[in-house]
Structure 1
Amino acid sequence: MRPARLNPLFAPARALKGVGPRIDGLLNKLLAPRGVGGHARLIDLLWHFPVGLVDRARSPSIAESPLGQIVTLTVRVAEHRPGGGRKGRRAPYRILVEDETSAIDLVYFRADRRYLERLLPVGETRIISGRLESYDGRLQMPHPDHVSPPDTGAGVPEIEPVYPLTAGLSNTSLRKAIQAALGGLPNLPEWIDAAFLDKNGWRSFTESVKQLHAPGSADDLLPSHPARQRLAYDELLANQLALAILRQHMKRRAGRAIAAPGRLGKAIVEALPFALTGAQTRALAEIDADMADPLHMLRLLQGDVGSGKTVVALLAMATAVEAGHQAAFMAPTELLARQHLATIAHFAEPAGLRIALLTGRERGKERLAILDALQGGEIDILIGTHALFQDPIAFRDLGLAVIDEQHRFGVHQRLALQEKGLGAGAELLVMTATPIPRTLLLTSYGDLDVSRLDEKPPGRKPVTTRIIPLERLDEVIDGVARAVESGAQVYWVCPLVGESEVLDLAAAEERCADLRGQFGERVGLVHGKLAGKEKDAVMARFAAGELSVLVSTTVIEVGVDVPNASVMIIEHAERFGLAQLHQLRGRVGRGAAQSSCLLLYKQPLGEIARERLNVMRETEDGFVIAEEDLRLRGGGEVLGTRQSGLPAFRIAQLPEHQDLLAAARDDARLRLARTPRLEGESGEALRLLLYLFERDDAVKLMRAG
């Protein structure tokens, strides 16, 4: 249950004075978070900060007022001129106002005459503020932002904050709703250490919120402003505290020591056609130590494309099997699950490991036979999709669960994996081929220990990357023809077209038809709408060398492995994020041939797009690329989309607030070490913080023990 003192902040915005059905609908459209019934709440208004300022201090006479700018005028109301005309073609309502120097029209569309007569009585003096325009040779001010009598104390504000809006909602209406919401701010106990507050010159939570909604200058809008930093720290502390509680909860569950002499692992390593890298050896030592510890293993294995994560995972699973347990390997898509099956089965053969696949495609008797074998302990390693933890699948004794491409799942699914029984007594190893900047590791994987594969297997040649305008498409196709003639295979990735899978598919089909005109049936097409069997059949033909060119949407982004493919062409590369471009380029350079990647772009290029493509040309280091991606795009967009399981911060901005993030991580762990159940006054304040930033799940976990 949310503490009662916070309830007013989570009341719907429609409860505020002055928020009628029309304004409420617009606020819902602008601010309502998903999953809370679609209604904007007071807290959503408070977290909606201004992005600009309007200076209304300019108070010239009418004659001196500049056109096109916001001015504040003291005028006398001379005459009302109601709009006339036929229904549907009604003229606007005009009010003539004047000072000693000139006159202007105040213009209102769809006006309420009685309201305007009360607001602007003839013969009275009023202060008005708005943008001055000229129409048909006459000065006018359409729908003034402010109208007030002089000397009432509620005059026109000299500096007014400007907020992000939605169509139909005025800044004035939104500002009034926010001011009303600010009136409902409760006094809350302080959850930040007093010395840390003083050191940073921060004020209380309530004062900071009010300060951010009353900026006095452009500097007050910056991420570096003390009030913004204070609230960003609050949000980051809530995030880090929730992750620390999740980690504490996972670690507290009954784990077990899993250790083995290494006979199976040795058989696999001796049969490998390559030597393990130093990074692989180091990661394996960290994983083995975690598994041998009776506490739960919660480890993230992050490695660049081609750095050898699958082999590390297999050797960890071999340890679990040798110790008498089973292992599960979960991939984000059926295509990848099948590819992992081929790779793992090949490498595992010398150790005699029994491996099976379970996806949505295995049905009926075949599925029942797999489930029976699994429960009977006749399967050592089960490979599948996320259905492995959604379905009621029973292992005889699951010792290790490996999740590939973890960023597709997220913290909540990690928790579900443990809660649903699959990982209740299992060690957990999650992997990603998307190098993650340190900042995002803290915000999204703070519950996990991290092993990093930062070396590529020996003998891998760097991929030559070139940036080419689309106007030279004919030259590119000629180059493809030469590459195909020499026996090379080519990926051709089609552009992202908005957010539409249908349009993406249309672009891919069109390019495929063009290339088939030149290369005939040696061109294949893969996209997300294809049924699993069809997709696998096309990929199998490409892997077998029957197809020379594979046209694709981004479905081939992660994991697909065809060592003979040595050319990657990405059309409209300016539409892709850096992490995605890096993943796509990683599909080539996996064999002995010199590989190349061509980034085709449409001119003119924006500044950020140009920087992004230049980064791709200058480096292949995925960790460098990840940091640049964070710098160029900000934390919310790195790793692709909001579906990535990343927390969507409403106040904190990354990387601008990354120093605060590191401090919040240390603070959260220290506070939890002192009071593991957040007891006492200090703990109670931190619980309020978790509820305030809607990290309620962490409190529930703590109560569950």
Structure 2
Amino acid sequence: MRPALLDPLFASLSSLPGIGPKLGELFARLLGQESAEDCRVVDLIFHRPHGLIDRRKQPDIARAPEGVIVTITGRVDRHQPPPRGKGNAPYRVFLHDETGELALTFFRVKGNWLEKALPLDEQVVVSGKVEWFNGRPSMVHPDYMVKASEAGSLPLVEPVYGLTAGLSPRVLRKEVEAAVARIPALPEWIEPELLRRQGFSDARDAFLRLHEPRDETDLDPQAPARRRLAYDEFLAGQISLALVRQRLRRVAGRPVRATGALSRLVVDALPFALTASQQAAVADILADMAGEQRMLRLLQGDVGAGKTAVALMAMLAAVESGGQAVLMAPTEILARQHVATLSRMAAPAGVTIDVLTGRTKGREREAVLERIAAGETQIVIGTHALFQDNVAYRDLVLAVVDEQHRFGVHQRLRLTAKGITPHMLVMTATPIPRTLVLAAFGDMDVSKLTEKPAGRKPIHTVVMPQERTGEIVGRLRTALAAGKKAYWICPLVEESEESDLMSAEERHATLTSVFGAAAGLVHGRMSGPEKDAAMLAFKTGETRLLVATTVVEVGVDVPDATIMVIEHAERFGLAQLHQLRGRVGRGDEASSCILLYKGPLSENGRARLSILRETEDGFRIAEEDLKLRGEGELLGTRQSGTPGFLLASLEAHGDLLEIARKDAAYVIERDPELTSARGEALRTLLYLYRRDEAIRFLRAG
């Protein structure tokens, strides 16, 4: 049960004064909720200000600085409405003080409200930005105008919040104040010693300070109030991950005794030697699986670093000890590709491999399910169809999951709830900076593959403006005639009215006019069989140029493709561009990647594309991406199991995340059920940050 103390904060937003259905919809849009019913008072408390209006600068008119918000006192001299019939000309009101004259400029004025607000000969106080034209100061649409006799009502320092169309700053500010007034005195969930060392105030005080900044330093991510709230958010996340982990760990693992009988045959037959980091990862995995506790390990490896070979060694160990292993991929294309690769690699060991996806139907499906239940199938590869209710394993010992961020903590628990408690190895080609690993997957041990397999050549990357597309098509003509293969990536499937991005269908049409049937097309809206057919045609060389959306981002393997063109590269995330680039350079020929952008590029856009030109190190690219875009974007905030922080920022508060992780481990070790006084306070914290799912695991035991 949520503590009654928090009820005022979890009341519907409509319980605040003045929020009816119409305003409720605007707030829902602002706060990223489906509808007004989903919005709670607490959502406004987490909507932090990003700027400040400071009206304490009150110069004379002649000394008003350009482009800065100032507050000016003057007497109204005259009104100058636009000439009749010229509605688009401005309405001007002139005021003066001892030093000069200021023009207040208004556009599209309706009615006579200005005459009432600024009566002739009245002493008034106005606030806004001053612009100077030909030595004359002007203020366009002042944000505050009051008679001098009422100047006491003018807020001197005011926070600025993100808005949505139709919602005025004043209305939002009023509702935020009403929400903040509801924050109760909260129990202290941080240890006294840490409070003292970090100089933290209490949580309620930190929220008040967040919404009532006195100057720019209060808005800095390093301001004490913001650091306190960031720590709380990290602590809530780390405690909930620790509770999940405790629940998963409580289920004993079954020790796997690898004999090496099968893996030796496979390694001996491989055309390459395993790299040092592949060998280290295999050793870590086998050590984990041999223990009494279940393995939960994240295997991070850049594009082409050879994660598949490591996963195969782990799966062979499971088979050697008499059990079964599954490999789950996020898409049908990938699952089928894993089947092709692993069947080839595992052939010398003679293990039986089956595939099970949503497209395995009828008799074929029944036969596969029977083989799995009887234990005849030793390795099963598929999509999430592997874990549906009608799939019964004889003895599932290891589950390998490809691309973790599509398979979060909760899916892992669902598996456990079915009574299936295999060791888990999670693979990702999205290099995730250490801080993000802690935040999103704090419940996992990590192995990193840092070298590229032998023989891989560097990929030559160039950045070019869209205007040179014709030149690139010319070069492609030469390359394809010489027997090469190329990808051409577009951001959209079909052209839309409001977007000027090039769609895959449109680009395919223009390239078909040049290359005819040699140009293929694949995108996410096609059916499974259509995608497979398009990929197969490209693999076999029936088509030599594949126009695609980002469906090809993860894991598609065509070793003889050597050219990658990415259109509107400025619209993609760095990590995603790096993934796409990794689709070429997989054979022994030199490869190139052309990043086409539509100018003009922003400073940030230029910085991002130049990082790709400089390096192929996915971990460095991920760190830079984190600096440039923030963690919410890096994994796509909305994906399951990833954190989108409200008040914390990994770049600014990374040091606090490490402390929160240790603190959470300490708490769970001392008070696993959260029943002590501090434990009770921590439950309040989990509810406040909506991490209460973890509390349910306490009850579920």
TM-score above 0.5: yes
Matched, 1:680 2:679: no
Q: TM (normalized to structure 1)?
A: 0.89
Supply the distance in 2 between the matched residues of 1:38 and 1:56 (Cα, whole angstroms): 37
| Higher alpha-carbon deviation: 563-572 or 473-482 | 473-482
Supply the distance in 2 between the matched residues of 1:686 and 1:667 (Cα, whole angstroms): 12
Q: Number of aligned residue pairs: give it.
A: 694
Tell me the equivalent position of 1:17.
17
Amino acid at match of 1:346: R
1:366–1:597 CA distance, 2 compared to 1 (3 A): same
Tell me the equivalent position of 1:602.
598
Match for 2:532 among 525, 530, 536? Answer: 536
1:267–1:64 CA distance, 2 compared to 1 (3 A): closer
Supply the distance in 1 between the matched residues of 2:583 and 2:410 (Cα, whole angstroms): 30
Q: Deviations over 1:650-701 (max 9, x none)?
A: 1011212111111111111122112111221111111111111000111111
Tell me the equivalent position of 1:296.
294
- Residue 314 of structure 1 and its aligned partner are, at CA, apart by 1.3
- Residue 502 of structure 1 and its aligned partner are, at CA, apart by 12
Tell me the equivalent position of 1:561.
557
- Residue 417 of structure 1 and its aligned partner are, at CA, apart by 2.9
Q: Which runs of 5+ in 2 are unaligned?
A: none
- Residue 578 of structure 1 and its aligned partner are, at CA, apart by 0.9
Matched, 1:46 2:41: no
Tell me the equivalent position of 1:377.
375
Supply the distance in 2 between the matched residues of 1:111 and 1:44 (Cα, whole angstroms): 38
Matched, 1:240 2:238: yes
Tell me the equivalent position of 2:2.
2
| Higher alpha-carbon deviation: 49-58 or 379-388 | 49-58
- Residue 32 of structure 1 and its aligned partner are, at CA, apart by 5.2
1:109–1:16 CA distance, 2 compared to 1 (3 A): farther
Supply the distance in 2 between the matched residues of 1:43 and 1:489 (Cα, whole angstroms): 54
- Aligned Cα RMSD in Å? 3.7
1:503–1:544 CA distance, 2 compared to 1 (3 A): farther
- Residue 302 of structure 1 and its aligned partner are, at CA, apart by 0.9
- Residue 292 of structure 1 and its aligned partner are, at CA, apart by 1.1
The alignment partner of 2:652 has SS state of coil
The alignment partner of 1:539 has SS state of helix
Matches within 5 A, 1:566-577: 566-577=562-573
1:390–1:130 CA distance, 2 compared to 1 (3 A): farther
Matched, 1:519 2:503: no
Supply the distance in 2 between the matched residues of 1:502 and 1:334 (Cα, whole angstroms): 32
Q: Is the 8 A contact 1:495 1:504 kept in 2?
A: no
Tell me the equivalent position of 1:173.
171
Q: Is the 8 A contact 1:496 1:504 kept in 2?
A: no
Q: Deviations over 1:481-533 (max 9, x none)?
A: 22222222111112358997997997222222332233221221111122111
Amino acid at match of 2:48: F
Q: Is the 8 A contact 2:502 2:567 kept in 1?
A: no
The alignment partner of 1:643 has SS state of coil
Q: Deviations over 1:269-305 (max 9, x none)?
A: 1121111111111111111111111211111111111
Matches within 5 A, 1:49-198: 49-59=48-58, 72=71, 145=144, 147=146, 150=149, 155-198=153-196
Supply the distance in 1 between the matched residues of 2:679 and 2:112 (Cα, whole angstroms): 55
Supply the distance in 2 between the matched residues of 1:139 and 1:179 (Cα, whole angstroms): 33
| Higher alpha-carbon deviation: 266-275 or 489-498 | 489-498
Tell me the equivalent position of 1:29.
29
- Residue 443 of structure 1 and its aligned partner are, at CA, apart by 0.8
Supply the distance in 1 between the matched residues of 2:446 and 2:547 (Cα, whole angstroms): 36
The alignment partner of 2:355 has SS state of strand
Supply the distance in 2 between the matched residues of 1:206 and 1:148 (Cα, whole angstroms): 36
- Residue 131 of structure 1 and its aligned partner are, at CA, apart by 7.1
Q: Is the 8 A contact 1:411 1:444 kept in 2?
A: no
Tell me the equivalent position of 1:415.
413
Amino acid at match of 2:202: S
1:261–1:65 CA distance, 2 compared to 1 (3 A): closer
Supply the distance in 1 between the matched residues of 2:461 and 2:62 (Cα, whole angstroms): 62
Matches within 5 A, 1:257-656: 257-421=255-419, 424-496=420-492, 507-640=503-636, 642-643=638-639, 645-656=641-652
Amino acid at match of 2:169: N
Supply the distance in 2 between the matched residues of 1:242 and 1:374 (Cα, whole angstroms): 35
Q: Is the 8 A contact 1:2 1:691 kept in 2?
A: yes
1:140–1:488 CA distance, 2 compared to 1 (3 A): closer
Match for 1:214 among 167, 190, 212? Answer: 212
- Residue 104 of structure 1 and its aligned partner are, at CA, apart by 9.5
Amino acid at match of 1:29: R
Amino acid at match of 1:687: R
Supply the distance in 1 between the matched residues of 2:485 and 2:191 (Cα, whole angstroms): 60
- Residue 425 of structure 1 and its aligned partner are, at CA, apart by 2.1
- Residue 150 of structure 1 and its aligned partner are, at CA, apart by 4.5
Supply the distance in 1 between the matched residues of 2:497 and 2:410 (Cα, whole angstroms): 26
Supply the distance in 2 between the matched residues of 1:298 and 1:586 (Cα, whole angstroms): 27
Supply the distance in 1 between the matched residues of 2:497 and 2:305 (Cα, whole angstroms): 31
Q: Is the 8 A contact 1:496 1:576 kept in 2?
A: no
- Residue 465 of structure 1 and its aligned partner are, at CA, apart by 1.5
Supply the distance in 1 between the matched residues of 2:691 and 2:147 (Cα, whole angstroms): 44
Tell me the equivalent position of 1:659.
655
Q: Is the 8 A contact 2:101 2:137 kept in 1?
A: no
Supply the distance in 1 between the matched residues of 2:268 and 2:70 (Cα, whole angstroms): 80
The alignment partner of 2:593 has SS state of strand
| Higher alpha-carbon deviation: 61-70 or 188-197 | 61-70
Q: TM (normalized to structure 2)?
A: 0.89
Amino acid at match of 2:698: M
